[in-house]
């Protein structure tokens, strides 16, 4: 049966794979054609790569910031600069917050919103004009969002190793019992029932068994660490 600790470790390992696939998909979207054919201000553009789209997005965003972008119809493309920036800085952000489940869940929400924002052309858009680079771009946000959610799985500390006490023979148990009675009764064992030599031998055997038990327990604890 899988423990909670093992389940959390499996989920976090899967999250790292998902994030890696998302970053790979984003890198692939930059070299793949994102737009196969689209009409822009009376001109047709063919086989526009994802890198060209990324460059155009940041150029338009900068034009808006400095006040040179007067056309309000391109605000969506300007807004694409935000999810692109979030995705490009996500490797560093995830590494810095890898032990913060709350921040990882926040990152998952941010990537999910970015995926919805990026998929705007899938609803009401001309799908024939979209290339493989666009789909890889949208999928990259989805994969990183799922990866962040997996990485946010809490990892409880591993349960301590169970130390099984060593089994004692009947003679050892009898010797230990006699030592216990001898130390806690406050009186010597009756000479009529037990000879002194037998009592001394039993005490010696009990002390030896106790010493071996302590040494065995210490070696087992050292081996489990």
Instruction: Find out whether 167 and 70 touch, Cβ atoms under 8 Å.
Output: no
Q: Is the pLDDT confidence value at 172 over 80?
A: no
Q: Is 38 left (phi over 0), alpha (psi -120 to 50) or beta?
A: beta
The CA distances from residue 221 to 162, 163, 216, 217, in Å, are: 9, 7, 9, 6
For the chain, what is the HEC assignment? CCCHHHHHHHHHHHHHHHHHHHHHHHHHHHHCEEEEEEEECCEEEEEEEHHHHHHHHHHHHHHHHHCCCCCHHHHHHHHCHHHHHHHHHHHHHHHHCCCCHHHHHHHHHHHHHHHHHHHHHHCCCCHHHECHHHHHHHHHHHHHHHHHHHHCCCCCCCCCCCCCCCCCCHHHHHHHHHHHHHHHHCCCCCCCCCCHHHHHHHHHHHHHHHHHHHHHHHHHHHHHC
Cα gap 74→67, rounded to integer Å: 14
Tens digits of per-residue pLDDT, 79-112? 888 999 999 999 998 888 888 888 888 988 999 9
For the entire predicted model, the pTM comes to 0.60
pLDDT score for 216: 61
Q: Is the pLDDT confidence value at 23 over 50?
A: yes
Query: 189 falls in which pLDDT band (50, 70, 90)?
Result: very low
Instruction: Find out whether 171 and 205 touch, Cβ atoms under 8 Å.
Output: yes
- What average pLDDT score do residues 127-154 get? 88
Instruction: Find out whether 166 and 213 touch, Cβ atoms under 8 Å.
Output: yes
Q: What is the largest CA-CA distance in the chain?
A: 120
Cα gap 9→6, rounded to integer Å: 5
């Amino acid at each position: 049966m899988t423990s909670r600790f093992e389940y959390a470790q499996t989920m976090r390992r899967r999250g790292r794979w998902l994030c890696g696939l998302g970053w790979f998909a984003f890198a692939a979207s930059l070299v793949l054609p994102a737009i196969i054919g689209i009409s822009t201000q009376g001109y047709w553009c063919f086989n526009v790569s994802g890198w060209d789209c990324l460059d155009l997005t940041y150029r338009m965003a900068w034009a808006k910031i400095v006040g040179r972008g007067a056309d309000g119809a391109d605000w969506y493309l300007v807004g694409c600069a935000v999810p692109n920036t979030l995705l490009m800085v996500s490797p560093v952000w995830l590494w810095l917050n890898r032990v913060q489940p709350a921040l990882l869940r926040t990152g998952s929400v941010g990537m999910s919103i970015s995926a919805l924002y990026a998929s705007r052309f899938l609803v009401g858009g001309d799908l024939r004009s979209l290339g493989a680079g666009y789909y890889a771009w949208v999928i990259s946000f989805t994969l990183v969002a799922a990866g962040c959610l997996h990485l946010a799985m809490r990892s409880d500390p591993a349960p301590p190793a169970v130390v099984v006490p060593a089994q004692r023979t009947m003679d050892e148990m009898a010797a230990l019992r006699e030592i216990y009675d001898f130390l806690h009764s406050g009186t010597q064992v009756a000479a009529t029932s037990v000879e002194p030599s037998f009592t001394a031998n039993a005490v010696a055997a009990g002390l030896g068994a106790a010493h071996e038990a302590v040494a065995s327990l210490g070696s087992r604890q050292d081996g489990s660490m």
